[in-house]
Structure 1
């Protein structure tokens, strides 16, 4: 059964700053709210966490269903997603509104300054968005629901629907950790089959919920935390944490989207019954392709290259296991 991915669908405006942000905001200028950075280049790309994850799943042959709200400027983006295996029939188009915009400038150290305009995203919390029940009826059932960051009310709605329908769900709160109150965050993560965060988000989640690491582990099936170049930490209640190394020797073109590519690879593996560590290996390899490409949905997927990277990083046994997970990859 297909995986449903909820969350924001956006257009990314990506720029680079040929310096270091701290040099422009240090010393006695910390109180100044107006800072200017002369950026180089501009890449306008398709993005948004929900769409990025769905794109990665589509490239891996999982036939994902994307659920979210967009503006009347979505037509070309919709064609792109369909061409890459994403079901967009449950995306709500809001006439007269723009699809969400993410403007991101990256400095030479990989630090980023971002601005986000929600646009049509707010409509994801309205009754006009297709319910998970209706999506399941249209598609013949759902095997998993990914609650990725988007409108907070929509995230809670999707979580509630999953519980009511008995659907397994993955919680990926990300940048909305700071936009939700304590009770809502606890509700979002409780009962999830898997919690996805990065290292900074894991710390902020504990602070925002008031829950300790063991208390969160009691509420989730597994907690998967990306650690950048240090790899991925996998935690489960009653088990020792495990660490999956990242792929080394990657030439980074632009870091945006690598986390979403990892999540797509991890979810593709997990949905096919792979152990979390094996699923994380697939996620790390997919993230390495995203790191080498500017834009969150521009990476090419060559199965032979993918398996070679798995073999080099994790060994022949891992490559054989991952080969079975990417049988239908585009």
Structure 2
């Protein structure tokens, strides 16, 4: 929502201990989101068959239909009839200040989900453990280890909530560690590990740098920097990091090396940045190849071309 004014003009000095305010907003935009759903949606659109694991409320039916039409397997979703699906509500003023609330709802039950029945009989290549209730993140990381399935650690928004031991447990032995630049520094501070120690404990460390692109570091310490695909317009940054993660994993799964995978991921992330909402983006192969060539050169674009065309060759879906 948008409030056409300044929040600060409505706070009375000396009365902040009894604030009672209601802001008349002039806009309401309801968007689909959630870290897991955003990543799964992008994987589905890019031709993979992701299994969404999480807890939702009885109000999830329409969202489930949308995700399933875009290639997401929702059989791993737990429906809690007595709660609503998690929801983030935010009001922004003319100064881009925000007042927001996050309702976890059914997410409180996410630790009740066991991975073994979900992955049984399926060829699951990777479990990505993203931001959820800390007990669920820890449980699913431990279960992935016990099942012998490689896992990606993506603690993101939950890092402030986690203590040192929890951070170490979530990251140690991960095939991939995803963070942004700030989250990396917070993770280092919380774990007490030096950067080289953290790097040695994961297979590949991927750090997104916003407009600066991304940094990929293998467990031997070799670094690769990849520039971002320049956006033509910036409409909404929500979900850009989620799209990058999905694009990067699709690139690796398609046989690209980590640098080319990050270039492909950057193209997908920029498509999200240029759209309003995390799941409203579109990408055309020819236009995408031209942008890859502009950003990284024609040889890089030609290397990624088969992956891009295959990823976007999935049948059209209903909107």
Provide TM-score, normalisation by structure 2. Answer: 0.89
Report what 2:130 is aligned to: 148
Q: How does 1:247-266 map to 2 (within 5 A)?
A: 247-266=229-248
Does residue 158 of structure 1 match 2:140?
yes
Report what 1:74 is aligned to: 60
Report what 1:226 is aligned to: 208
Write the distance in 1 (CA, Å) between the matches of 2:23 and 2:234: 22
Question: In 2, are the aligned partners of 1:69 and 1:120 still within 8 Å (CA)?
Answer: yes
Return the offset for 1:303: 2.2
Return the offset for 1:255: 1.2
Report what 2:180 is aligned to: 198
Q: How does 1:271-290 map to 2 (within 5 A)?
A: 271-290=253-272
The counterpart of 1:304, out of the listed 286, 297, 301, is 286
Report what 2:116 is aligned to: 133
The counterpart of 1:207, out of the listed 174, 189, 195, is 189
Write the distance in 2 (CA, Å) between the matches of 1:294 and 1:318: 28
Q: Which runs of 5+ in 1 are unaligned?
A: 1-14
Question: In 1, are the aligned partners of 2:111 and 2:139 still within 8 Å (CA)?
Answer: yes
Structure 1 pair 20–309 and aligned structure 2 pair: CA distance change class (3 A): farther
Structure 1 pair 109–169 and aligned structure 2 pair: CA distance change class (3 A): farther
The counterpart of 1:58, out of the listed 44, 51, 68, is 44
Write the distance in 2 (CA, Å) between the matches of 1:187 and 1:65: 23
* Secondary structure class of the residue paired with 1:74: helix
Aligned residues: 309
Structure 1 pair 297–110 and aligned structure 2 pair: CA distance change class (3 A): farther
Question: In 2, are the aligned partners of 1:235 and 1:242 still within 8 Å (CA)?
Answer: yes
Q: What value does the CA root-mean-square deviation take over the aligned residues?
A: 2.5
The counterpart of 1:103, out of the listed 74, 83, 89, is 89
* Secondary structure class of the residue paired with 1:42: coil
Question: In 1, are the aligned partners of 2:232 and 2:274 still within 8 Å (CA)?
Answer: yes
Q: How does 1:153-192 map to 2 (within 5 A)?
A: 153-192=135-174
Question: In 1, are the aligned partners of 2:199 and 2:221 still within 8 Å (CA)?
Answer: no
Return the offset for 1:141: 1.8
Return the offset for 1:299: 0.8
Structure 1 pair 307–105 and aligned structure 2 pair: CA distance change class (3 A): farther
Write the distance in 2 (CA, Å) between the matches of 1:108 and 1:172: 32
Higher relative contact order structure (alpha carbons within 8 Å, sequence separation ≥ 6): 1
Return the offset for 1:71: 0.2
Write the distance in 1 (CA, Å) between the matches of 2:304 and 2:95: 33
Deviations 1:175-222 (CA, angstroms, capped at 9, x unpaired): 111111110110100000110001111111111212221111111111
Question: In 2, are the aligned partners of 1:71 and 1:95 still within 8 Å (CA)?
Answer: yes
Write the distance in 1 (CA, Å) between the matches of 2:238 and 2:48: 23
Question: In 2, are the aligned partners of 1:59 and 1:301 still within 8 Å (CA)?
Answer: no
Report what 1:268 is aligned to: 250
The counterpart of 1:49, out of the listed 20, 35, 48, is 35
Return the offset for 1:96: 2.2
